[in-house]
């Protein structure tokens, strides 16, 4: 995954670099291998700057933030085709047959064949990057249509659109791209299998149109979006745009639509320094949203009964209200709103229900998906608060009735499978797969219902050929675009048709899985997730599974009560356990390897390990606690795993030995030999165990004897076994008697073999003794007990432990990042929001 962005103003501006820098930084989570930008002035001059490195590291070096211009095309790269070099960075400027500038996001799988074609036709291809092939290909077909023909501007714009269509037919793969010719007005954007969003707005510079791979970066500039569907292109100026088909000569100018997302949902709040931290902290609030839509509260009943009684008129009113979102002008918005609420049907509803609404504006918060629109109207017309509150409730009712219908449909299917047979497969990738494993734990314990979690590769190799019409597949994806999972749904559909039911649990409800591939879906409702490492989506996924398991076994009151308990305990955990978690993070952030051992909680252990691997970049494995003794425990004790802290202690011993040698012969005829020896030690360029050939240093026999004796002592004092440290094991033990016995046994088994122990569990005397009992002879033993609030429920405990593991990974990441930055380690890739080598939604094979 990469990210492409473009913004265009009506006039040349000295502040274009400032805007470009902000947009590039918002895309950093999508790519950090390289960063680049092309600035096109109103006279057609192009300034191209690009370099290996993330936007946060290279923007100032390239002075992108200071460059002027009228048009900008930028790109952040997550390398796939072509190594990580300045040459392979984007955008690309080409001028073999016509002068073009462009960049792309995605994968073009026939890059090698395109390069041969372009070279054969006289193009000078400078990189191995697939983005350059796309820009050259558009250039090639544009030149064929325009070279030497004396076309006017309108004809050349049409020729560019036609060239893009022709290139699209040649290219294999999925991508989004922006390209322009400096001597043509505007920028041309393409959406062909990868995300691309466009918006129109006004800021302190003037009117603009912005295009980006990332919706949040567009929303940081404007709420008004230009609808752009798959297989469409966009030609845009600062104040006008045309959407055209990438496959045929067809174009139109769609109306702007107002985004439902609140800017606060996609912006970093002042109290936080990183999105990962903000998103971990938001989990309790997100579960309150889950409660709002998956259960009907008693106080809502009068409103929902009235809405149901007037369903047709309510739907008609909401249809008209939602059309207000497309109105750009504030006065027109208010006029249309007042006309709507004065209508007969709404007036009757308001007369019936208005008195039930709390009149205190300060205590009522709009909670529907269109809260942003309601807030905008309320700010301009505060006297309309009660009417707006009623509309908010109506909007919640409209969505809730659909969610409840689909919830009950899935619960009925699960009950049917429990009664009559058939298999329930939960298929997902990455964090969502670990949520599926945790779902298996819930369904087994809460509902006595076996489910079969699998990632797409496992499902294809273990289950795909043996499905029956009694089986159901539940796909889980935050983005709804995970290609491996989409492929599984396609495979099942192609082989079994509608005989095997496909259902999805997603966060992005407008994505491919729920809209195109599933019979129906359930939303996890956790809002946009910006940080690459999934945190709040995992909590919402497992909460929804817990809810469903409860509904299979019991009634809605039990399920609702348990989610409310989860919200309380999750909130308490996040607010009160920080000191203990911080102590462990500070102790372990430089450990090169660790294991997280979940007693009966394999999904949670694997998810905790994934978080550490993702954002700390330390090798971490998640295992069932009892399984660790079957081979993985060989890593305990003396081995060849050294942390940076271990190497610092070793280097300290070397420096201490230098001090003792310094006066032994640093002056006189042998001083050069001694200094050479000292430099050799300082640079650590010798192999441990090798005594240097002192005669090569040109010293006297007496000095050679001193050096040999010193090296023998030095080798003894700095022998590797003296610098081994204990191996970190983090246990996660639920409040279950059998699991506690197993955990105590495993702690005793492993700590005597050279493990440091950290335990996440409810308070338990026997567990505490096992953790803090120091093994004889192991003076460096370290232990910590992170005691979570008591629930007595091993399922509720899972949420507390998940929050602690996420917080631990976050704090370790921040500490390691600071450490590496202090030591001026370039391109280390440690960052809680944008770690190297991973991307938010994998949309390539």
- 193: DSSP letter: B
- Does the pLDDT at position 74 exceed 50? yes
**What's phi and psi for 326, nearest 5 deg?**
-90, -5
The string over 281-295, giving b where at least 16 C-beta atoms fall within 10 Å of a residue's C-beta and e elsewhere, is bbbbebbebbbbbbb
Chain mean pLDDT for the chain: 88
All residues at 6 or more sequence positions from 18 whose CB lies less than 8 Å from its CB, including other chains:
65
Query: Could you give the percent of the chain with pLDDT greater than 90?
Result: 69
All residues at 6 or more sequence positions from 747 whose CB lies less than 8 Å from its CB, including other chains:
731, 757, 759, 767, 770, 771
Write down the pLDDT at residue 576.
92
Write down the pLDDT at residue 749.
96
- CA–CA dist 86, 95 (Å, integer): 19
Q: What is the DSSP string of 554-588?
A: S-HHHHHHHHHHHHHHHHHHHHH-HHHHHHHHHHH
- Where do the H-state alpha helices sit in 628-729? 644-661, 671-682, 701-717
Q: What is the pLDDT of residues 319-361, one digit of tens each?
A: 999 989 888 788 999 999 999 999 988 999 999 998 888 767 6
- CA–CA dist 798, 322 (Å, integer): 40
CA torsion angle 399 402 408 413 (round to 10) = -130
Write down the pLDDT at residue 708.
60
All residues at 6 or more sequence positions from 784 whose CB lies less than 8 Å from its CB, including other chains:
580, 583, 584, 587, 757, 758, 759, 771
Element (H, E) at 297: none
Name the region of 127 (left: φ>0; alpha: ψ -120 to 50; beta: rest): beta
Asked whether the beta carbons of 2 and 77 are under 8 A apart, the reply is: yes
CB atoms within 10 A of CB 710: 18
Which stretch of 22-36, 373-387, 576-590, 599-613 has the lowest confidence by average pLDDT? 22-36
- Does the pLDDT at position 844 exceed 50? no
- Where do the H-state alpha helices sit in 1-71? 16-26, 55-62
For residue 292, the SS3 value is: helix
CB atoms within 10 A of CB 403: 18
For residue 451, the SS3 value is: coil
Q: What is the pLDDT of residues 235-277, one digit of tens each?
A: 999 999 999 999 999 999 998 888 877 666 777 788 998 999 9
Q: Which two tokens stand for residue 434?
A: 């670990």
Residue showing tokens 């060239």: 163
- Does the pLDDT at position 87 exceed 50? yes
Q: What is the pLDDT of residues 227-236, one digit of tens each?
A: 998 899 999 9
Of 630, 622, 626, nearest to 434 by C-alpha is: 622
Write down the pLDDT at residue 28.
84
- 356: DSSP letter: G
Q: What is the DSSP string of 701-738?
A: HHHHHHHHHHHHHHHHHT-GGGG--PEEEEEE--S-HH
Q: What is the pLDDT of residues 438-481, one digit of tens each?
A: 999 999 999 999 999 999 999 999 999 999 999 999 999 998 88
- CA–CA dist 43, 49 (Å, integer): 18
What is the model's pTM?
Answer: 0.78
All residues at 6 or more sequence positions from 364 whose CB lies less than 8 Å from its CB, including other chains:
357, 358, 385, 389
Asked whether the beta carbons of 38 and 91 are under 8 A apart, the reply is: yes
Residue showing tokens 């489910």: 451
Instruction: Give the start-end residues of each E strand in 217-372.
Output: 224-225, 232-236, 241-245, 251-252, 257-258
Beta bridge partners of 234: 189, 243
| Averaged pLDDT for residues 628-645 | 80
- Does the pLDDT at position 841 exceed 60? no
| Averaged pLDDT for residues 539-567 | 96
Of 103, 101, 72, nearest to 3 by C-alpha is: 103
Q: What is the pLDDT of residues 672-705, one digit of tens each?
A: 655 655 565 555 433 334 444 444 445 556 655 6
- CA–CA dist 801, 762 (Å, integer): 10
- CA–CA dist 528, 310 (Å, integer): 33
Q: Which two tokens stand for residue 400?
A: 């809730």
Q: What is the pLDDT of residues 606-622, one digit of tens each?
A: 999 999 999 999 999 99
- Does the pLDDT at position 204 exceed 80? yes
- CA–CA dist 160, 318 (Å, integer): 41
Cα dist from 293 to 147, 156, 288, 316, 468, whole Å:
59, 52, 9, 21, 33
Interhelix angle 671-682/644-661, nearest 10 degrees: 170
Write down the pLDDT at residue 263.
66
Asked whether the beta carbons of 549 and 447 are under 8 A apart, the reply is: yes
- 15: DSSP letter: T
For residue 190, the SS3 value is: strand
Write down the pLDDT at residue 513.
92
**Entry field: residues in the chain:** 845
- CA–CA dist 53, 806 (Å, integer): 27
Write down the pLDDT at residue 67.
96
The string over 95-134, giving b where at least 16 C-beta atoms fall within 10 Å of a residue's C-beta and e elsewhere, is ebbbbbbbbbbbbbbebeebbebbeeeebebebbbbbbbb
Write down the pLDDT at residue 680.
53
Write down the pLDDT at residue 845.
37
**What's phi and psi for 614, nearest 5 deg?**
-65, -50
Q: What is the pLDDT of residues 637-660, one digit of tens each?
A: 876 566 666 666 655 665 565 555
- CA–CA dist 502, 544 (Å, integer): 17
Beta bridge partners of 730: 596, 758
Of 758, 751, 756, 745, nearest to 786 by C-alpha is: 758
- CA–CA dist 546, 558 (Å, integer): 11
Cα dist from 549 to 500, 603, 804, 810, whole Å:
21, 16, 24, 30
Q: What angle do CA 104, 140, 133 make, to 5 degrees?
A: 35
Write down the pLDDT at residue 90.
93
- Does the pLDDT at position 666 exceed 80? no
Asked whether the beta carbons of 530 and 29 are under 8 A apart, the reply is: yes
| Averaged pLDDT for residues 549-575 | 95
Asked whether the beta carbons of 146 and 140 are under 8 A apart, the reply is: no
| Averaged pLDDT for residues 498-514 | 93
CB atoms within 10 A of CB 501: 19
């Amino acid at each position: 995954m990469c990210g492409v962005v473009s913004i265009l103003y009506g006039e040349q501006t000295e502040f274009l670099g400032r805007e470009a820098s902000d947009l590039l930084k918002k895309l950093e989570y999508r790519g950090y291998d390289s960063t680049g930008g092309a600035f096109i002035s109103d006279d057609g001059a192009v300034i191209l700057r690009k370099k290996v490195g993330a936007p946060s590291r290279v923007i100032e070096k390239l002075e992108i933030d200071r460059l002027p211009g009228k048009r900008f095309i930028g790109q952040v790269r997550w390398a796939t085709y072509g190594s990580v070099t300045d040459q392979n960075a984007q955008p690309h400027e080409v001028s073999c047959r016509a002068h073009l500038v462009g960049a792309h996001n995605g994968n073009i799988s026939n890059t090698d064949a395109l390069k041969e074609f372009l070279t054969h036709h006289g193009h000078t291809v400078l990189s191995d990057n697939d983005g350059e092939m796309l820009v050259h290909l558009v250039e090639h077909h544009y030149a064929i249509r325009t070279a030497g023909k004396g076309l006017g501007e309108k004809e050349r714009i049409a020729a560019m659109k036609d060239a893009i269509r022709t290139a699209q037919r040649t290219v294999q793969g999925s991508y989004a791209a922006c390209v322009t010719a400096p001597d043509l007005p505007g920028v041309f954007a393409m959406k062909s299998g990868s995300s691309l969003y466009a918006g129109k707005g006004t800021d302190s510079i003037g009117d603009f149109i912005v295009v980006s791979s990332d919706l949040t970066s567009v929303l940081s500039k404007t709420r008004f979006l230009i609808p752009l569907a798959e297989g469409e292109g966009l030609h845009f100026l600062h104040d006008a745009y045309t959407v055209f088909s990438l496959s045929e000569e067809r174009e139109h100018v769609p109306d702007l639509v107002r985004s439902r997302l609140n800017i606060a949902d996609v912006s970093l709040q002042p109290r936080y320094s990183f999105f990962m931290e903000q998103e971990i902290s938001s989990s309790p609030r997100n579960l309150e949203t889950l409660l709002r839509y998956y259960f009907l509260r008693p106080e809502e009943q009068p409103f929902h009964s009235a809405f149901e009684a007037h369903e047709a008129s309510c739907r008609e009113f909401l249809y008209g209200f939602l059309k207000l979102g497309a109105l750009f002008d504030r006065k027109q918005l208010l006029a249309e709103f007042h006309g709507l609420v004065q209508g007969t049907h709404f007036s009757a509803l308001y007369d019936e229900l208005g008195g039930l609404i709390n009149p205190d504006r300060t205590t009522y918060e709009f909670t529907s998906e269109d809260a942003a629109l309601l807030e905008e109207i309320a700010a301009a017309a505060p006297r309309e608060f009660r009417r707006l509150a009623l509309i908010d409730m109506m909007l919640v009712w409209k969505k809730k009735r659909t969610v409840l219908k689909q919830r009950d449909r899935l619960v009925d299917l699960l009950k049917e499978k429990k009664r009559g047979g058939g298999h329930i497969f939960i298929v997902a990738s990455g964090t969502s797969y670990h949520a599926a494993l945790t779902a298996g734990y819930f369904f087994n314990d809460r509902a006595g219902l076996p489910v079969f979690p699998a990632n797409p590769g496992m499902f294809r190799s273990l289950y795909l050929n043996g499905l029956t019409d009694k089986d159901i597949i539940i796909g889980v994806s935050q983005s709804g675009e995970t290609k491996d999972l989409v492929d599984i749904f396609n495979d099942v559909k192609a082989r079994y048709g509608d005989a095997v039911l496909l259902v999805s649990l997603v966060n992005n409800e407008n994505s491919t899985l729920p809209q195109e591939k599933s019979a129906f879906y359930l939303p996890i409702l956790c809002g946009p997730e910006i940080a690459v490492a999934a945190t709040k989506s995992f909590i919402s996924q497992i909460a929804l599974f817990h809810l469903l398991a409860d509904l299979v076994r019991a009634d809605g009151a039990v399920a609702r009560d348990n989610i409310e308990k989860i919200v309380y305990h999750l909130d308490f955990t996040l607010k009160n356990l920080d000191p203990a978690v911080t102590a462990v993070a500070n102790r372990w952030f430089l450990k090169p390897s660790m294991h997280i051992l979940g007693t009966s909680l394999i999904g949670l252990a694997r998810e905790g390990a994934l978080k550490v691997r993702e954002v700390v970049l330390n090798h971490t494995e998640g295992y069932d606690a009892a399984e660790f003794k079957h081979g993985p425990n060989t890593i305990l004790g003396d081995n060849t795993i050294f942390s940076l802290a271990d190497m610092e202690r070793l280097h300290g011993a070397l420096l201490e030995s230098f001090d003792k040698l310094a006066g032994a012969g640093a002056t006189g005829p042998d001083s050069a030999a001694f200094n050479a020896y000292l430099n050799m030690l300082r640079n650590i360029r010798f192999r441990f165990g090798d005594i240097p050939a002192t005669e090569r240093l040109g010293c006297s026999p007496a000095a050679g004897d001193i050096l040999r004796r010193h090296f023998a002592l030095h080798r003894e004092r700095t022998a590797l076994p003296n610098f081994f440290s204990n191996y970190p094991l983090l246990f996660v033990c639920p409040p279950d008697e059998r699991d506690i016995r197993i955990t105590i046994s495993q702690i005793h088994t492993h700590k005597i073999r050279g493990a440091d122990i950290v335990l996440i569990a409810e308070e338990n005397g026997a567990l505490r003794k096992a953790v803090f009992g120091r093994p004889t002879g192991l003076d460096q033993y370290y232990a910590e007990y992170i005691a979570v609030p008591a629930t007595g429920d091993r399922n509720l405990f899972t949420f507390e432990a998940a929050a602690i593991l996420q917080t631990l990974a976050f704090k370790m990441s921040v500490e390691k990042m600071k450490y590496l930055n202090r030591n001026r380690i370039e391109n280390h890739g440690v960052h809680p929001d944008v770690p190297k080598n991973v991307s938010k939604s994998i949309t390539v094979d």
